[in-house]
A and B are shown apart, each in its own frame.
Chain A
Amino acid sequence: GAVVSQHPSRVICKSGTSVKIECRSLDFQATTMFWYRQFPKQSLMLMATSNEGSKATYEQGVEKDKFLINHASLTLSTLTVTSAHPEDSSFYICSALSGYLDNEQFFGPGTRLTVL
């Protein structure tokens, strides 16, 4: 089946630094990728929709200058958390939409970000 990877799986950083998370579709092309944030015991919250070659669409309440998304190719989207603070600590999950595999979203394993 379709596989989506994320890198890194875990990252710990100091407050004020920036962190980049990569999301790759390994065996299919994804014109659309999604970025979610998951808090403990809470549901996945959609942060933004990323379309290859165009600007990401952010959900209400998500700061686009804080969470920079780049979807430069059909197999790679990146999320950069800029000037991270402890409240940004969370589990970030990406998914990639296959336009031909019943248009299903395939999810990455997630990245655990801890900001000290």
Chain B
Amino acid sequence: GEDVEQSLFLSVREGDSSVINCTYTDSSSTYLYWYKQEPGAGLQLLTYIFSNMDMKQDQRLTVLLNKKDKHLSLRIADTQTGDSAIYFCAESMETGANNLFFGTGTRLTVIP
């Protein structure tokens, strides 16, 4: 079955860049997603990347995909305290975000 792994914790200083990593095992993944979960709130879709892309940038967020190594990363530039949250990567083999398989989540703590 699908296996999506992330490190559990990451701490960075405010203003630095954060890099959250994710590895997956299913080479037939079509879409890869990054979600953000703040306390008491639902998962919020941050960005996604199609498997035939290497990189996607959206303002402070940069997603890098190494399909050969099955490695996905999310870089947050100029990290702010409001970025403190749990970040989940997820993969899907279907269009339209059906059947999402989630990683364990990485808790990002931003130190002022």
A41 in contact with B88 (CB, 8 Å)? no
B88 in contact with A108 (CB, 8 Å)? no
Given A93-B42, A107-B44, A109-B40, A44:B102 Cβ within 8 A: yes
Of the residues B42, B99, B101, contact of A106 by C-beta under 8 Å: B42
Cα–Cα, bound, A102→B105 (Å): 24
Q: For the complex, count residues of A whose C-beta is within 8 A of B.
A: 21
For residue B4, CB closer than 8 A to chain A, the reply is: yes
For residue B104, CB closer than 8 A to chain A, the reply is: yes
Q: For the complex, count residues of B whose C-beta is within 8 A of A.
A: 21
Cα–Cα, bound, A92→B29 (Å): 25
Given A97-B98, A103-B96, A104-B97, A41:B43 Cβ within 8 A: no
Cα–Cα, bound, A95→B95 (Å): 16
For residue B100, CB closer than 8 A to chain A, the reply is: yes
- With both beta carbons as reference points, the residue of chain A lying nearest to B45 in the complex is identified as A104
6 examples of A-B residue contacts, CB within 8 angstroms: A41-B8, A43-B103, A43-B105, A103-B95, A104-B45, A110-B42
Closest 5 CB pairs of A and B: A103-B96, A107-B42, A107-B43, A43-B102, A44-B102
